[in-house]
């Protein structure tokens, strides 16, 4: 028992270090902070480019801009910050577990909104209820091998092995780092994230089918999966708020160059 407590203490210290911001790195924000919140709908996934030590490794291993994901739920009853701002999203943090917060904290960071197509309002509510019911769940940071690997320099790794590296140790921190809880919420209502490949597909496609099955079985969903999923639309806050905005800007730029 004492040995386990020591491991957890070490794990917490490692998690604090890995989740602290890297000096000098500020993710480029190309979003529309004004319209970001108003276009969100319950059930939307918000992808975030993190600026922590562990985020750098996740972005490399997943070959993606995105290192973190949160589920927008809409206002959560009885939960607000010290200024009275209602919590309206759920996310999983390595050092805190499943927590709620205000999505406004990501309004000025580099984000992408991914919206599941065709979900019924009742299914969206069911998903949100599912993740809200997991609030307070924590992860066993005694599995320090899951954290220790992020202290090592990341060597060049063939692309086919990168996701597998996330499974090293396969302890609780892996679940926190990956987007497993959010993927479970979509599975709860029978909504796919990864492409569905039929059994009669070509040999190459069947190989991919096996890889996707492994991802699902090991719960190695990562933020990038929502971005490239064929079942999610990318929502641009500026264009959602002002559908002709981009065209008007392009027209003005064209006039300026003539």
In this prediction, residue 36 carries a pLDDT of: 92
Which residues are CB-contacts of 133 (< 8 A; sequence separation ≥ 6)?
none
Residue of 182, 152, 138, 156 whose CA lies nearest to 47? 182
- Tens digit of each residue's pLDDT (9 = 90 or more) over 61-104: 788 899 999 999 999 999 998 888 999 999 999 888 899 999 99
For residue 3, the Cα-to-chain-centroid distance in whole angstroms is 33
Residue ranges of the chain whose pLDDT lies below 50: 218, 258
* List of domains in the chain: 2-241 (3.90.1720.10)
In this prediction, residue 258 carries a pLDDT of: 47
Q: For residues 50 and 54, what is the distance between their CA atoms, to the nearest angstrom?
A: 9
In this prediction, residue 80 carries a pLDDT of: 93
Q: For residues 235 and 44, what is the distance between their CA atoms, to the nearest angstrom?
A: 9
Residue of 68, 125, 126, 124 whose CA lies nearest to 101? 68
Contact in structure between 86 and 102 (CB atoms under 8 Å) = yes
In this prediction, residue 86 carries a pLDDT of: 94
Q: For residues 123 and 125, what is the distance between their CA atoms, to the nearest angstrom?
A: 5
């Amino acid at each position: 028992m004492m040995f386990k407590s020591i491991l957890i203490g070490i794990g917490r210290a490692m998690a604090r270090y890995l989740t602290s911001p890297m000096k000098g790195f500020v993710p480029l924000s190309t979003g529309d902070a004004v319209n970001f919140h108003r276009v969100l709908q319950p059930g939307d996934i918000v992808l975030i480019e993190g600026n922590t030590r562990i985020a750098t490794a996740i972005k490399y291993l997943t070959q993606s801009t995105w290192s973190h994901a949160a589920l927008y739920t809409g206002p959560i009853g009885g939960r607000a910050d010290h200024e009275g701002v209602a919590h309206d999203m759920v996310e999983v943090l390595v050092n805190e577990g499943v927590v709620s917060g205000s999505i406004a904290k990501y309004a000025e960071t580099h984000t992408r909104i991914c919206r599941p197509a065709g979900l019924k309002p009742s299914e969206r509510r069911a998903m949100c209820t599912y993740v809200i019911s997991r609030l307070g769940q924590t992860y066993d940071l005694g599995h320090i091998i899951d954290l220790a690997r992020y202290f090592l320099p990341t060597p060049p790794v063939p692309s086919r092995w990168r996701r597998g590296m996330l499974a090293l140790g396969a302890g609780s921190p892996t679940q926190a780092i990956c987007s497993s809880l959010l993927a479970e919420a979509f599975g709860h209502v029978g909504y796919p994230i990864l492409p569905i490949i039929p059994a009669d597909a070509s040999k190459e496609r069947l190989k991919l089918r096996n890889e996707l099955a492994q991802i699902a079985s090991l719960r190695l969903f990562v933020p990038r999966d929502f971005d490239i999923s064929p079942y999610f639309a990318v929502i641009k806050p500026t264009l959602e708020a002002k559908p002709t905005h981009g065209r008007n800007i392009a027209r003005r730029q064209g006039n300026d160059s003539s």
